[in-house]
Each structure stands twice: as C-alpha cells, then as structure tokens.
A and B are shown apart, each in its own frame.
Chain A
Amino acid sequence: MKSSYIPMTRQQQEAMLSTVDVKSLDELFSAIPEELRLQKDLKLPEPLSEHELKKHMNTLAQKNSDTIGNTCFLGAGAYDHIIPSAVKHITSRQEFYTAYTPYQPEISQGVLQSIFEYQTMIAELTGMDAANASLYDGATALYEAALLASRYNGRKEILIARSVNPEYRKVLYSGLRYSGITVKEVDFYKEENSNNKSGTINLEQLQDHISKNTAAIAIQSPNFFGILEDIKAVSHTAKEVGALLIAVCDPISLGVFESPGALGADIAVGEAQPLGNPMNFGGPLLGYFAVKSPFIRRMPGRIVGETIDSQGRRGFVLTLQAREQHIRREKATSNICTNQALCALAAANYLSLMGKEGLKEVATQCINKSVYTYHSLLEASQVSQVFEAPFFREFVVRPKIKPNAINEALLTEKIIGGYDLTAEYPELEGCWLVAVTEKRSKKEIDDFVSKVNSICQGGIIND
C-alpha cells in the first residue's frame, strides 16, 4: 500500500528484502506463532485523504458548542484565559514539538534552556526554591506531593481540605488506594455549622484531626470555591506536629497574592493550564511542582540543571536522575517518564510575554470582573450569597432556580454557565460556581447577568 508517510517504493522494498535475506514481508514475522497472525484486516474505517479528513473533523466540530461561539463562565479547574498569538507560533516550531525528551543535551539546549526558564518562573511565582520540569496535571501533581510528604516523614496519613477541587481529591484517593497511605477530609466553614461563613478550611476540625501521624495537610488557595485560604495559619498548625504543608495554588492568582512559599508551604503544586495553554477539553493540562530546598532531591520527574561544557560554556542537562525510574526502577521517586514539556514551554512563553506587569494585570482584571459580576448578580436579588470571604476569579452563589436549569436556558443564549456544585457537594445543593476571567468584557458580563435574572424570574424555584 502506498502512503505519503512511508517513502519506500516497491522496487526498494524488493532490494531490501533480498539484503535481509528473506523472500517476503511475511517471512519477517516468522517468529510470531502462526496461530497468532491475523488472517484478516483490522475492522477500521476506510482511509481518508487529508481533504476528506478535514471535512470529517469539521462535521464533528459542528456537533460541539465551543467557547469561541459561546461565552464561557465555567471554570472549576480549567480556565478560559487570553492566550497571546506568539505562544502558538513558538510551540509550533518543529525543533520543539517533534523532539523527544532531551537525552542528548548537546542537541537539546533549546528545550533544556526553556525548561530551566520555566522552572525559574514557577519557583518565582510560588516562592519556592526549585520546580521540576512538569507533571501531567494539577491533580496528579497533588498525588505526587502526598507521596513525597509521606516518604519524607514516614507518616501515613494525609489531611485534605474538602474545599480542594473534587477532581484532585478523586485522583489522590485512587492513586493512594493501595499505598498504605490514608486520606482524611477536613470540612470548610459554612453557614449551618457556625456563624463563620468563610468557605475556608475549618481550623477547629483540622486541630481535631491532626496528629503525629499526619504526613501532610493539603489545601488549595484560591480553593475550589474561589476563596483564599489562610495558608499561614494552616502552616502553623502543620508545623506544630511536624507535618508538611502542600498548597495547591493557581499560578495566575500568584501575580497579586502572596506566594505559598512565603506563607510557609513546603510544597506548592497546581494546574498551570491557565498560563498560555488552551482548555483542550481537559487535556493536555500542565501540572507544576515546586518545593523548598530540603525536598529537592525527592522531587518526582525530570529536572533541568545548569552546568558547563568541556570548554567552560554554560549549558543545561537533565539532572538528579538518580531519583528516576530509568535508573532506580522500583525504588524511583515516581514512575513518570513522559511529561508535559511542550505545555511547559507554552507557560514559559506566556509568562515571558506577560512579564511582571502583565501577569498582575491579568490577575487584577480577573478580580475586577469577577467582583463586578458577583455584585451585579446579588443586586438583582435572583441569587443569594453563600460564603463571606474574598475570592479570586470564581465565586459561589445560590440562584433562585436550580443551576442546571439556568445553564440549560443560558445555552440557548450562547452562554456556557457556571458549575453546579450539587453533585460533588450535597451540602451546597443548588449552589452555582461562576468563573469570570480577564477575557470577559463588561458587555458580556452585563448580558450574562441580565439573562440569569430573567431566567430566574421565569423559572422553577430552587429550594
């Protein structure tokens, strides 16, 4: 069969078969037992030409409602931020995207230096001493952080705030299921259990649960409800019993908020998709992982370090590889091999373009616009307040009608509404998590608010 991706001609094939000293292609597979050799074709659709493939994919795309044709107010772990055009132009350079992991540093200085720059930026944002080259996503980064903590202090219990992204908690539970490490959840402050309605981790309950068996406390800030946690207070609690503090932080928010490192966290992890990577229907995402110096040699995954070449010139290599699976096998700190290098490159490009001022501007606009949306919604009295604490980019309200009913109605207006918290948080039944990034204009927000109001006024009451 002829294929534009297989350059060998029939004549060349004949000549090569004769060099190899076999009579046919089939003979090359004689080591495979006869009974295992497929006697018929795989049942796959007939091959398409480029043009036909494009048409086919267009037909599929038309069955979607994307975030270009629809205005997105949905967050909950993946965010619709502005991506500068230059990012795609850099990540589309074949020298970057068609390369393998930089095992041969002399011809991989491009990707190695870009990762070194990425590691520096992540360490800067999080206030940590070092970062690794990337992990799959924020959820698996949290799992790796829990493993690191437990191995470091030999303790077998992780306390995690229930205000951490439910998707992250699920990945943590699955990953730790057979590890001998148990996970306990700590509730958040909400109206029914106290007059504290902050939506942050319940510090009294944390005190009750924490002990000398606690390997680490994991919190998210801003948490799943968009609310900032008191990282410093939780850090004090952790330090009292010698537990580590793992902080899951949004990298955009760190353009304005104090770094987890400065507030006492030992490990900072999170989802760096908002830094120049599209949402991609949930993947690829970009897990970042940063630590204070005592934990550097315990980090999972690839790490790039600076060194010199035989002529004394600066260069970069994969380093501290004695931690990794290809050297340590079953004693490795992690099994990760392939990571998210190209997404890390996009993040480095994004942070270079945004720079010090730009990142702050993005974060500030997220604040301005989400606060404006929140107050506009509350003013019209079709939604009520749930938590009383400062938030970032995302907030919770309780609309008069059920969130999924609002979302359905908004769709007909080409708006992708917020996240219905009911399924993951039965205690927040009927609550709605709305995300507003710098990408939303005042007009889009006003339109959203007015649509929500009119839907609520005409809809079925949300008890």
Chain B
Amino acid sequence: MIRDEKLIFEKSVEGRIGYSLPANDVPEVDLEVVYPGDMLRKTAPQLPEVSEVDVIRHYTNLSKRNYGVDSGFYPLGSCTMKYNPKINEDIASMEGLAQMHPLQNPQTAQGNLEILYNMDKYLSEILGMERVTLQPAAGAQGEMTGLMIIKAYHMHRLDSKRVKIIVPDSSHGTNPASAALAGFEVVHIPSDERGCVDINALEDILDDTVAGLMLTNPNTLGLFEEDILKISRMVHDCGGLLYYDGANMNAIMGIARPGDMGFDIAHVNLHKTFSTPHGGGGPGSGPIGVVKELVPFLPVPVIEKVDDYYTLDYDRPLSIGKVKSFYGNFGVILRAYSYIRTMGSQGLKAASQTAVLNANYIRKRLEDLYDIPHNRICMHEFVLSAQRQAKNGVTALDIAKNLLDKGIHPPTIYFPLIVQEAMMIEPTETESPETLDNFIEIMRDLAIKAQENPESLKNAPKETYVSRLDEVKAARTPVLRWKK
C-alpha cells in the first residue's frame, strides 16, 4: 500500500504547471488601467503548482483510499446502493446531450426537452401521479418543494391556520428539517408495537391545524404501513395532504404506487431507486410527482408538448416559483432515463421483487444470532439490533468497523433512532446470492466472536488506510482547510 499522506498543496513546486491553454490571440488588456483601485488581487490565491502527472497520481492514490459500489457489497440501509450500469455513464457524457447551455433557444434543445418530458411521464406512471417536476436536486430538496406546494395549496384555499406537519419518530432527519424550512411546526408521532404509525396517536393529533403528514412507505424499519389507506383517509378527512418520502421506493416499483395509496405528493431519489451513482455524496436528483389538484403549484418551468414541439411553460400564476436554477440535475436525469428505458416495466418489477427477497433472505439467516425488533416479512431492507452483542461490549459501531476489515461497507448504524444499536441492512437487487452468503457468514462469525471473545472486536478496523479517527477532536478544534 502506498502511504502517501500529502495534500496536493504539499506537492506544489513553484513554477510548475498542469494546464494547456490556447495562446492569447487578441490584444492584451492592461489590467491595472482597466481595473483601477481595489479591484485587482494583491496576493495570488495559494493554489497548488503541479503537473498533470502529479494531479493524476495524487487523485488516483486518493481514489484507492475510497470504497465504491464497484469495490464490493454496500448494504447501507435507506441509501439503495445498487450497481450503477456503465452504459448510463456513457449516455450522460454524450456531447450532443451534455454539452448544452440551459438557456439555449428551446428549438435547439428539442432532444433534451423530449427526454425531460418523457421522464415526467415515466415517473408519473411509476408513482401513480399526474405530473412530475424534475427540478429538485436531491431528496431533501424534493421534500422542501413538496412542502412549499402543501403550503401554497392551503394558502390558496385561504386556509392559513394549517401550521403543522406530522412526521413519524422513525422518519429521516430531512423530513422535519424540510418542514421547518418551509415554515411549518413539526409534530412527531410515535410508532406502535408493530413498528408502524400509531393510528390512535395520529387520531389525537389530527385537526384543522394540520397541513399534512410525511411518510416513508415502506417505512425506515423496512415495513410496509399496512394501514396506509386508513391513514390517508384520516388525513384527508381532516383537510390535510399526504407527502411520500420516496427513499424506499426500490421496494415497490411496479408492485404498488404512492398515488394509489392516497399520497398527494411523492418524491423519488433517482440516485437510489433509479441506479444513478452517488458521487461520494452527490449530485443526486429528487423529482416530485403530484396529484392533479396540485399541478398548478409545481415549480416553473413545466415542460409542455404542443404539436410535437416541446416548450418551457413559465406562465403559471399559482406556481411556487423556482427551487433551483434551470431544470434540475439533467446529467443525473439522463442516467435514470437510460435505466428506465433498459429495464422496462418487467425489469423494474423484478428489481423490486429481488431486492425484497434479498433483504428477507439475510434477515432469515441472521435472526437466530441478532435481535430483530420487528421480525416479520420485510420489504427491501430491515433493521436488526446489536443489543445482545452490546451487552458483551460489542456495539453496532464495533460490528460496522469489523466489516470494514472484511471488505464490506457496513449497514447504516444508529438509525432509525427508535431502535437501540440499530443496523439497517439494504442489500438491493444487484447482489448475487454468493455475495449475500459471504456477508451472512461474516455477520454470523462476528456475532459468535462477540459472545466468545468480545475484546477481539474492539480495535477494528486494522486493514484500512487509517484506523478509527478522532471525531471529537475534529469537532472541538476544527481544522477545515490547509494552511502553509
């Protein structure tokens, strides 16, 4: 292993260059004359002075200290780390699609607009919605957009007393954060003993101050909310709307649709369900679909098709406006479009079925050695608890760090917050039974070691580039940039 710990700045050699630019072929401007006073920089920014080879080696070495889906199994619950097909990358970098300026005359962008228009149609069909906006850049931004639509809808009806958004205690952190940003008061409801929305608690909260309910279905425990029709009726009866957090949509493609469940707004994460890569944290894409009644409130522009010509419609008086520049993360949308076109309806359904089978297979084969708080048939993921192991001093974190040494990316840990020592396991459909078996054997082995020799699990990881890092130090005395 190459132990090159230097930053790119520390490799800088004065006078070295890594660029190739055309020679300036127009008259030179005297900067001092054109930009008088304080306008010009007095000291140059401390950027590295390195050659192209230096840059390529530096970042190639850095990449070796990173782990992607192509490196191995990545059962990170709630994140749907499925394989990212290579053809989709090729499509996304096709010059004729990518090398386009967003403000070009629509007549010169008919191909791209057709893609966006059809993507709206496909996602509407998958979600059971009337129309979809592709503008939100990620799931959280989709949530924010949806909540603004909820607000706009109630305000349009002159119903200004609806100030509350209900979220389950098992919800993703983005749900309450988005609701607060959209100007709502957040009300948490507990889960019942079956791990689903507590209907009685919901009944108690529902009144004419409730603007809506946000729900993930299947929820973050990987369980389908069996009473969803009752829940949506209750919320609608009190005048509220239902928002579907689509983070777990990979469980139900072609099997059930949020629109049919009674949801009024639903987002999907193209970077989860529709196989686009996560890029080490982004870019993603979080389109939202809405029912017919909410279409007027969608962000502008909406892409319309008139006599086989695609246009951008900005003339929408009830629109909430814009949530992001231009039309969304087009490059990500292109990959998801390619995915849908190569999978078709049967392929998407098979993906969901297999994802659910894989999760249940792992659950079934670990249930004797780990606690599983809600141990019944799950959807595409399930949550186990390392409480039994924690009694011997081996926490979910320790198990996660031991998985690193085995070449596996750990599950999501300590989420959802309602399960102690939670480990949320989402295998996805793109993993072979051999990969699952390998993971299961490792997890079983760790459970046995936790019983017999817990100390042996406390110092992992040992095989990684760095060992456990001091996060407290990082937060107490933040060093957020390099300085000479």
Contact = CB atoms under 8 A, between A and B. Distances in A.
A305 B480 contact: yes
A124 B45 contact: yes
A32 B252 contact: yes
A44 B430 contact: no
Given A102-B280, A356-B47, A310 B21 contact: no
Interface string A330-347: 111011111111110100
B7 interface: yes
A380 to B, nearest CB: 16
Interface in A112-130: 113-117, 119-121, 123-125, 129-130
A368 interface: yes
B206 interface: no
A318 B138 CA distance: 19
A308 B466 CA distance: 9
Contacts of A360: 44
Interface in A342-383: 342-343, 345, 348-349, 351-362, 364-365, 367-369, 371-372
Contacts of A29: 224, 252, 255-256, 356
B64 A137 contact: no
24 contacts: A3-B351, A5-B343, A5-B430, A25-B356, A28-B357, A54-B90, A61-B95, A66-B100, A90-B56, A93-B63, A101-B278, A104-B404, A107-B461, A109-B66, A174-B148, A174-B320, A178-B151, A280-B331, A281-B326, A283-B331, A307-B479, A341-B280, A356-B49, A442-B25
Contacts of B253: 42
A130 B327 CA distance: 30
B257 A167 contact: no
A241 interface: no
A65 B140 contact: no
B406 to A, nearest CB: 11
Contacts of A44: 122, 125-126, 340, 344-345, 348
B254 interface: yes
A30 B254 CA distance: 15
Contact of A306 (B44, B404, B479): B479
Interface in B26-72: 26-29, 31, 34-35, 38-42, 44-50, 52, 55-56, 58-60, 62-71
Given A25-B357, A96-B279, A258 B21 contact: no
Given A36-B228, A86-B18, A357-B19, 16 more contacts: A35-B229, A58-B94, A64-B96, A64-B111, A67-B101, A105-B469, A106-B466, A110-B63, A129-B481, A228-B35, A309-B467, A319-B475, A328-B177, A338-B278, A356-B47, A357-B49
B347 A3 contact: yes
Contacts of B340: 44
Contacts of A308: 469-470, 473
A257 B229 CA distance: 60
Contact of B326 (A16, A25, A282): A282
A313 B1 CA distance: 15
A107 B409 contact: yes
A48 B76 CA distance: 30
A86 B56 contact: yes
Contact of A113 (B45, B65, B126, B254): B65
Contact of B324 (A35, A139, A331): A139
B178 interface: yes
A426 interface: no
| Size category of the binding interface on chain B | 35 or more
Interface in B321-351: 321-332, 338, 340-351
B467 A50 contact: no
Contacts, number: 696
Given A257-B41, A283-B328, A438-B22, A338 B282 contact: yes
A194 interface: no
Contacts of A53: 87, 91, 338, 341-342
A295 interface: no
A35 to B, nearest CB: 8
A240 B48 CA distance: 38
Nearest to B89: A92
Contacts of A311: 467
B420 interface: no
B203 interface: no
Given A32-B252, A38-B254, A278 B98 contact: yes
B350 A6 contact: yes
A92 B140 CA distance: 26
Given A109-B62, A282-B327, A124 B47 contact: yes
Contacts of B131: none
Contact of B357 (A13, A369, A411): A13
